[in-house]
Copies of this chain bind each other. A is one copy, B any other.
Amino acid sequence: MSLERFSFNQATAKYWPLPDLVAGCAAAGVPAVGLWREPVAEYGLARSAALVRDAGLSVSSLCRGGFFGADGWFDDNRRAIDEAVALGAPVLVLVCGGLAGRPLEGARGQVAAALEALAPHALAAGVRLAIEPMHPMFAADRSVVATLGGALALATRFPVEAVGVALDTYHVWWDEQVYPLIAAGGERIACLQLADWVLPLPADVLVGRGLPGAGCVEFGRFLRATTAAGYTGPIEVEVFNADLWARPGQEVLRDTIAAFRTVTTEAAAPLTGECQP
């Protein structure tokens, strides 16, 4: 695949200053970036928006809203929607938050209530909320929404243009139900992110993801399935990896582009053997 659908998520080169990242992407022919609220705020919202726009890049998504168990969640998520508008990001990724001392059903119920409260604002702003099902090892502390099935059950209560899902291979690759659910819920895919599952898990499991192709995720199968389900939008590579973060941003971008090309070329190849969807 060419780079036409590629988006470089800023978290992959966490410590690369935004102007350098934007210049690097533009020079490499990368058409889009996924941005994070904290570094954008640090550089300045309007300044970040202008920087990206002037470089000819689009913003595929803004990370992240959510954490609905925290004090002030409503105002914070309203602000996040406004920031997405300012950046021209069509999607706000939601990490819905963990138990925060509540039973699982209570925490999940609050996610539903929070979406009720936020969906009208998102719709009015033209920003789609994307519920990210996170790997179940994060269910207690980061996201009580732990599967694509759980995310779709929440999203489908709302208009398709208001609430979708953010599908990250790292979080969902193991799920027996993920392929039928992609096929059934393709119109809800608002954001597609690639990262690989690599072993052993590091001491901090949050930062042990691999570049696509480094681990055991079947990207070919995954990308064929999302394409067959009708998703033709950007494909972000978003890799939280401590070793990667220690390297110069320009190198990280180069390796990320190479990884993207490899796994998307595999996706385009004829279907073979047991990897067939």
Q: Which A residues are within 8 Å of any B CB, using their own CB?
A: 99, 102-106, 108-109, 135-137, 139-141, 144, 146-147, 149-150, 153, 173-177, 197, 199, 201-203, 205, 215-216, 218, 221, 273-275
Q: How far is the CA of A199 from the CA of B100 in the complex (A)?
A: 12
When A and B form their complex, which 10 residue pairs have the shortest distance between CB atoms, in order from nearest? A139-B174, A106-B274, A203-B203, A150-B176, A136-B174, A137-B137, A103-B274, A103-B275, A146-B174, A136-B136
A146 partner residues in chain B, CB cutoff 8 A? 174-176
A136 partner residues in chain B, CB cutoff 8 A? 135-137, 174-175
Shortest distance in angstroms between A159's beta carbon and chain B's nearest beta carbon?
22
Known A137-B135, A141-B199; judge A104-B149 contact (CB<8 A): no
Q: How far is the CA of A149 from the CA of B149 in the complex (A)?
A: 12
Q: How far is the CA of A106 from the CA of B216 in the complex (A)?
A: 13
User: A140: which of B99, B144, B149, B216 is its contact (CB, 8 Å)?
Assistant: B216
Q: With CB as the reference atom, state the residue of chain B lying closest to A105.
A: B274
Q: Is the CB of B149 within 8 A of A176?
A: yes
Most buried by B among A139, A150, A218: A139
Known: A136-B136, A140-B215. 15 other contacts (CB 8 A): A102-B274, A103-B218, A103-B274, A104-B218, A105-B274, A106-B274, A135-B137, A137-B201, A137-B205, A139-B174, A140-B199, A147-B176, A149-B176, A153-B176, A203-B203
Q: How far is the CA of A105 from the CA of B221 in the complex (A)?
A: 11
Q: How far is the CA of A141 from the CA of B198 in the complex (A)?
A: 10
A135 partner residues in chain B, CB cutoff 8 A? 136-137
Q: Is the CB of B201 within 8 A of A205?
A: yes
- List 24 interface pairs A-B (beta carbons < 8 Å), by A numbering: A103-B218, A103-B274, A105-B274, A105-B275, A106-B274, A108-B176, A135-B137, A136-B175, A137-B137, A137-B201, A140-B197, A140-B215, A141-B199, A144-B174, A146-B175, A147-B177, A149-B176, A149-B177, A150-B176, A153-B176, A201-B205, A202-B203, A203-B203, A205-B205
Q: With CB as the reference atom, state the residue of chain B lying closest to A153.
A: B176
Q: How far is the CA of A199 from the CA of B102 in the complex (A)?
A: 15
